[in-house]
Amino acid sequence: MRIYLACTVRGDRAGTAAGRLINDRLQHHGHKVLTTHLLADDVESAESAVTEADVFERDLRWLSDCDMLVAEASGSSYGVGFEVGYITGRAHATGQRVLLLYNEQRRHAVSRLIVGNTDPSCTTLAYGSLDELAAIIDRCCGPEAGAR
């Protein structure tokens, strides 16, 4: 499955370790993650070599082509919110799904639109630890989930 992993790039990068774990578990299950470059420590400088318009067009292409969006939404990010909204807004026609994750300890700082998301194409889950996050990814995206 082609997965767009959404995470904060310019905002609060507190969820980067979680994003890296998500990426590793998804790849372990044989999925192609389209956005692994977002997890690099130097992502901001690497992305600055590309124009904003090119990033927009590239990311919309990836969003349109992905089977699923997995979003780590623990950091404040307009981009992650946009990506989740883009997929859920089209899901009735495309069949795409969203797995929306956030760190329970940061719930107070996560948008209420994220925490309260009840769209039928979206599964929203809080995690309390990286071990719990790994178990969620395995359950929702592993072979037993029929996600391949």
Q: Which tens digit of pLDDT belongs to each residue from 48-102? A: 778 889 989 999 999 999 999 999 998 777 889 999 999 999 999 999 999 999 9
Q: Is the pTM of this model over 0.85?
A: yes
- Judged against a pLDDT cut of 70, whether residue 14 lies above it is answered with no
**DSSP structure class, residue 67:** S
Comparing 85 with 144, which gets the higher pLDDT? 85
Burial of 138 (0-12, 13-18, 19+ CB in 10 A): middle
- What pLDDT shows up at residue 147? 44
Task: List the domain range (segments joined by +) for residue 21.
Answer: 2-145
Residues 39, 148: Cα–Cα separation, whole Å: 23
Taking the alpha carbons of 23, 26, 30, 32 in that order, is the dihedral positive or negative?
negative
Residue 113: other Cβ atoms inside 10 A: 11
Tokens found for residue 130? 């990286």
CATH number of the domain within which 118 lies? 3.40.50.450
- Judged against a pLDDT cut of 80, whether residue 41 lies above it is answered with no
Q: What is the DSSP string of 2-66?
A: EEEEE--SSS-GGGHHHHHHHHHHHHHTTPEETTGGGGSTTHHHHHTTS-HHHHHHHHHHHHHH-
**How many independent structural domains does the chain possess?**
1
Residues 130, 136: Cα–Cα separation, whole Å: 10
